[in-house]
């Protein structure tokens, strides 16, 4: 059975379940009144002037999410996605239930996005730059970050919301999960994480920690990290200027890794246009003879074409300095591109 056909069968099953549950706690509502769909896709053209790529039309990703209230306490979410330029298949990216234990406590179960940090947790539809920081994402060709295979994993997370009216109480999340991204676990050990997130009128800040292991090719290595971040939203503190920064440090695939970025943005008054400038660094060190370092600048401008679509122009310039071989790559190279991206959202 093809993956597309499998996805359609799963959708049919979920909708059938909605019919059966329509009378349990939500009487008087039809199943189709309680299910909504949203998503987005991004397509871009990249004019690459470096030794690490070619000019290319790129369908970067596609996300299609169905969500709805199964009963008074439970919300179900399923996301079908095509992730990355080299993955032509549409797969089940998220599939989880969010169950309320009361006013403050909730349980999230299934295959679900990470709560780690800011950019990895937030998702790509609200990010200004084309790509996440390398320490958080990356690829085998340009630096492996802690979530280079995607932000979703399989497990259970307990969440406590801040007390109503509290000014400094954070959202607290703790979870246990496979640590193999969207794959079955390859050993009996599980990964753990803890997150604290403060939401303020002027923006947000927080910290995350995870520990565990990752198994590939029968080899088990540590996958652990901690992260701190802050974001100031434009028009809240310093007028149309916004700012965000994030730092992460840890270990992955036998190499110590750390990286950070700082990003300033300017929201054009009386318009939804935003310009942005980012500087980032990434370091990976396996041992004294094998390491990699990246530094780079990114500048871009986002223009909302309509309520449902955005057009972004971005220029990126960065340099890789490698010693020995790290993540299977050796030698220095540059990242130099001018890209145009169109993002379309549907709700």
pLDDT value of position 138: 77
Q: Give me the mean pLDDT over the 24-45 stretch.
A: 73
12 by DSSP, 3-state: which? helix
Q: Is residue 80 scored above 70 in pLDDT?
A: yes
Output the CA angle 153-155-161, nearest 5 degrees: 100
251 phi/psi in degrees, rounded to 5 = -135, 140
Beta-bridged to residue 285, according to DSSP, are 256, 291
CATH superfamily of 33-346: Porin (2.40.160.10)
> Cα(153)–Cα(234) distance, rounded to whole angstroms?
32
Q: Which residues contact 164 (CB under 8 A, 6 or more apart)?
A: 103
Give the ranges where 72-208 is alpha helix by DSSP (H).
119-122
pLDDT value of position 31: 55
Q: Give me the mean pLDDT over the 234-256 stretch.
A: 92
Phi-psi category of residue 39: left, alpha or beta, with phi > 0 → left and psi -120 to 50 → alpha: left
Nearest alpha-carbon partner for 321 in 292, 343, 296:
292
By the 8 A CB rule, do 99 and 83 touch? no
Residue with tokens 């110590």: 256
Q: Is residue 69 scored above 60 in pLDDT?
A: yes
Per-position b or e across 231-245, b if 16+ CB within 10 A of its CB: bbbbeeeeeeebbbb
Phi-psi category of residue 235: left, alpha or beta, with phi > 0 → left and psi -120 to 50 → alpha: left
- Give 211-224 pLDDT, tens digit per residue: 999 998 888 999 99
Nearest alpha-carbon partner for 162 in 105, 117, 108:
105
- What the block records as the tokens of 146 is 């802690």
90 by DSSP, 3-state: which? coil
Q: How confident is the model at residue 270 (pLDDT cuts 50, 70, 90)?
A: confident
219 by DSSP, 3-state: which? strand
- Give 299-346 pLDDT, tens digit per residue: 999 999 988 899 999 999 999 999 999 988 888 888 898 999 999 998
Residue boundaries of the structural domains of the chain = 33-346
Least confident of 84-88, 181-185, 295-299: 84-88
115 phi/psi in degrees, rounded to 5 = -100, 10
By the 8 A CB rule, do 110 and 96 touch? yes
pLDDT value of position 174: 96
Greater model confidence, 19 or 112:
112
- Give 100-145 pLDDT, tens digit per residue: 988 899 999 999 999 999 999 988 888 999 999 999 987 767 779 9
Q: How confident is the model at residue 83 (pLDDT cuts 50, 70, 90)?
A: confident
Q: Is residue 49 scored above 90 in pLDDT?
A: no
Q: Is residue 20 scored above 90 in pLDDT?
A: no
pLDDT value of position 85: 58
Q: How confident is the model at residue 9 (pLDDT cuts 50, 70, 90)?
A: very low
- What the block records as the tokens of 305 is 């074409």
Greater model confidence, 276 or 288:
276
Burial class for 310, CB neighbours closer than 10 Å (0-12, 13-18, 19+)? buried
- What mean pLDDT value characterizes the chain? 87
């Amino acid at each position: 059975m093809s993956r597309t056909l499998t996805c359609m069968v799963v959708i049919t099953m979920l909708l059938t379940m909605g019919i059966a549950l329509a009378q349990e706690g939500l009487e008087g509502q039809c199943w189709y009144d309680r299910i909504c769909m949203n998503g987005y896709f991004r397509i871009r053209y990249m004019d690459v002037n470096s030794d690490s790529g070619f000019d290319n039309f790129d369908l970067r990703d596609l996300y299609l999410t169905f969500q709805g209230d199964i009963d008074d306490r439970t919300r179900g979410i399923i996301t079908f996605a095509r992730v990355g330029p080299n993955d032509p298949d549409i797969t089940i990216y998220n599939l989880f239930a969010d169950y309320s234990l009361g006013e403050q406590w909730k349980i999230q179960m299934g295959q679900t996005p990470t709560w780690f940090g800011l950019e990895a947790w937030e998702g790509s539809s609200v990010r200004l730059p084309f790509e996440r920081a390398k320490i958080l994402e990356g690829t085998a060709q340009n630096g492996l970050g802690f979530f280079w295979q995607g932000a979703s994993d399989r497990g259970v997370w307990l969440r406590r919301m801040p007390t109503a009216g509290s000014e400094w109480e954070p959202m607290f999340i703790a979870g246990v999960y496979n640590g193999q991204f969207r794959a079955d676990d390859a050993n009996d050990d599980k990964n753990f994480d803890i997150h604290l997130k403060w939401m303020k009128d002027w923006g947000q800040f927080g910290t995350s920690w995870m520990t565990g292991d990752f198994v590939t090719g029968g080899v088990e290595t540590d996958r652990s990290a901690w992260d701190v971040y802050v974001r100031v939203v434009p028009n809240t503190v310093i007028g149309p200027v916004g700012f965000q920064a994030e730092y992460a440090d840890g270990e992955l695939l036998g190499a110590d890794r750390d990286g950070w970025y700082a990003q300033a943005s300017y929201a054009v008054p009386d318009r939804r246009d935003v310009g942005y400038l980012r500087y980032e660094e990434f370091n990976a060190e396996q041992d004294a003879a094998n390491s990699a370092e990246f530094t780079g600048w990114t500048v871009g401008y986002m223009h909302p074409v309509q309520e449902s679509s955005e057009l972004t122009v971005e220029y990126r310039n960065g340099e890789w300095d490698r010693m020995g071989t790290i993540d299977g790559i050796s030698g220095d190279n540059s990242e130099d591109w001018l890209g145009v991206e169109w993002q379309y959202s549907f709700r």
